[in-house]
């Protein structure tokens, strides 16, 4: 084998090793994201915001668990990780991050679930038909009951569950506290929104009921979307799926649709006679 060929083979071997290491870093980063229930950016941000005393305790635990050489490397490289000059591997990040939850205040744990919760929180999409004989309290109670049922029966998606598991570190009580905190936030949001918005809508409908037979108002509460269909010509209150809703379902609109169909038929007859001349 010539010198030229040996040199090319050596460079090729280096390239293969480089590609293998790059792929390994990618796999480690993906695994870390799965373990944390999503992106690790918010966890890194929290890690880099620790005080010097907090960092020292984390690095000391890191050295005890993995060895002092790795601790020294982490301490020496910390500022480069923080500035982005050196990329922290998924393996090292996972080891360091798993040392955080036991010493993390509960409020910080709530903050590290907040963005995930906003992405995966309970949601619903309904149309609510409301007649003029329905009381304000009945409307509030019906809507609140529906939305609270959605929250209570909520199945925690895997990304949030993984983040809960990581933050709780196997402590069932901490995991329950995290879940209760966010479910209560959902409930408070629903109750406060309904108590403020519905009375205003009903007041408007009653004041102008003689000239407004129908009124539609869309309300969004978190990830809940509600189309309130106030109709002075129907009775009671009914919650239906948006996908199954058709304007003709509202009894007060039957006559309007009938007139529209009649007008369309008349126009078609006139056009037919015109073109047949």
Q: What is the pLDDT along the chain (277 residues), one digit of tens a residue?
A: 565 555 555 545 555 655 666 567 667 778 888 888 887 889 999 999 999 999 999 999 999 999 999 999 999 999 999 999 998 988 899 999 999 999 999 999 999 999 899 889 999 899 998 887 888 788 888 888 998 999 989 999 999 999 999 999 889 999 999 999 999 999 998 888 877 777 777 676 666 655 556 777 788 888 888 888 888 788 889 898 877 665 554 444 444 444 444 444 445 445 455 445 5
Give the pLDDT score at 233. Answer: 80
pTM: 0.71
Which residue range forms the structural domain that includes residue 168? 119-245
Q: In terms of domains, do 155 and 96 share one? A: no
CB atoms within 10 A of CB 193: 19
Say if 254 falls within a structural domain: no
Q: In terms of domains, do 124 and 97 share one? A: no
Give the pLDDT score at 22. Answer: 56
Distance CA 26, CA 35 (A): 14
Say if 112 falls within a structural domain: no
Say if 262 falls within a structural domain: no
Say if 99 falls within a structural domain: yes
H-helix or E-strand spanning residue 243:
none
Q: In terms of domains, do 84 and 123 share one? A: no
Q: In terms of domains, do 53 and 130 share one? A: no
- Identify the DSSP state of 98: T
Q: In terms of domains, do 241 and 124 share one? A: yes
Q: In terms of domains, do 7 and 86 share one? A: yes
Q: In terms of domains, do 202 and 131 share one? A: yes
Give the pLDDT score at 40. Answer: 86
Q: In terms of domains, do 128 and 192 share one? A: yes
Give bridge partners of residue 227 from the DSSP assignment: 127, 218
Average pLDDT for the chain: 80
Give bridge partners of residue 124 from the DSSP assignment: 224
Give the count of domains, the chain: 2
Say if 257 falls within a structural domain: no
Whose CA is closest to 110, among 35, 31, 183? 183
Domain boundary among 42, 71, 103: 103
Say if 127 falls within a structural domain: yes
Say if 173 falls within a structural domain: yes
Q: In terms of domains, do 171 and 93 share one? A: no
Q: In terms of domains, do 175 and 140 share one? A: yes
CA dihedral 204, 206, 207, 211 (to 10 degrees): 100
Domain boundary among 103, 136, 153: 103
Give the pLDDT score at 195. Answer: 78
Q: In terms of domains, do 96 and 124 share one? A: no
Distance CA 250, CA 234 (A): 7
CB 126 within 8 A of CB 241: yes
Say if 258 falls within a structural domain: no
Which structure tokens are listed for 253?
A: 């609109």
Q: In terms of domains, do 156 and 230 share one? A: yes
Strand arrangement, sheet containing 237-241:
214-221, 224-231, 124-131, 237-241
Distance CA 68, CA 91 (A): 17
Distance CA 4, CA 244 (A): 74
H-helix or E-strand spanning residue 123:
none
């Amino acid at each position: 084998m010539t010198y030229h060929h040996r040199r090319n083979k050596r460079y090729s071997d280096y390239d293969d090793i480089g590609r293998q290491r790059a792929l390994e870093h990618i796999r480690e980063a993906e695994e870390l994201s799965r373990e944390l229930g999503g992106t690790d950016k918010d966890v890194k941000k929290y890690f880099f915001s620790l005080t010097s005393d907090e960092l020292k305790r984390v690095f000391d635990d890191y050295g005890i668990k993995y060895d002092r050489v790795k601790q020294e490397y982490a301490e020496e490289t910390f500022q480069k990780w923080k500035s982005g000059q050196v990329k922290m591997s998924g393996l090292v990040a996972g080891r360091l991050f798993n040392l955080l939850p036991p010493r993390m205040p509960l409020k910080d744990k709530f903050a590290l679930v907040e963005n995930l919760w906003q992405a995966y929180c309970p949601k619903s999409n309904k149309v609510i038909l409301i007649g003029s004989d329905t009381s304000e309290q009945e409307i509030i109670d019906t809507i609140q009951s529906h939305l609270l049922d959605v929250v209570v029966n909520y199945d925690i998606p895997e990304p949030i569950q993984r983040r809960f598991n990581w933050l709780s570190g196997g402590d069932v009580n901490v995991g329950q506290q995290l879940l209760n905190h966010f479910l209560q936030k959902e409930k408070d949001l629903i109750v406060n929104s309904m108590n403020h918005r519905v009375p205003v809508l009903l007041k408007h409908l009653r004041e102008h009921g003689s000239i407004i037979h129908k009124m539609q108002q869309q309300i969004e509460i978190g990830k809940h979307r509600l189309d309130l269909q106030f109709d002075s010509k129907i009775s009671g209150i009914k919650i239906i799926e948006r996908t199954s809703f058709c304007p003709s379902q509202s009894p007060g609109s039957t006559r309007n649709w009938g007139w529209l169909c009649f007008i369309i038929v008349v126009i078609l007859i006139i056009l037919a006679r015109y073109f047949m001349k």
